[in-house]
Amino acid sequence: MTDAKHLTPHEPVTGSGSPAPAAVTPVTPIPPVTESAPESELLPRDERDKLGLRLQQALSAFVDDPRQAVSEADSLFDDAVRHLTETLAERRRTLRTSWQGQDSEAQTEELRLALRQYRESVEQLLRV
């Protein structure tokens, strides 16, 4: 079987693993995301720090009051999910606005950028 990374631009791989006919133009893949920019984080650092501190406090309180510690962890989990949901909803609104404008049709470059941002967001979720 031919390894896709060893193909030349004139030899795209078909579903069978063999090169496609020369008339097929290969699609240039969008490079993988290597590092998240701070503005693309799912939770801001200060919010993560606050949630982490609350988790440590709940863990530390377990010996003295196990029920209260678990109750705090439950509340913490709800807060983390809420913050994450709000962040993702805002990101989705922003992404949709970038390519679904009411007054104009999105150009190919805008669509490419939107697709890249969707891919980055989904990859972040898959790493959670």
pLDDT digits (tens, 9 = 90+) for 6-53: 443 444 444 455 454 444 434 444 444 444 444 468 888 999 999 999
Residue 5 pLDDT greater than 50, yes or no: no
- The pTM for the full model equals 0.60
Query: In one letter, which amino acid is 78?
Result: D
3-state helix, strand, coil in the chain (%, to 5): 60, 0, 40
Indicate the burial class of 19 (C-beta count within 10 angstroms; 0-12, 13-18, 19 or more).
middle
Q: Are the C-beta atoms of 120 and 33 separated by less than 8 Å?
A: yes
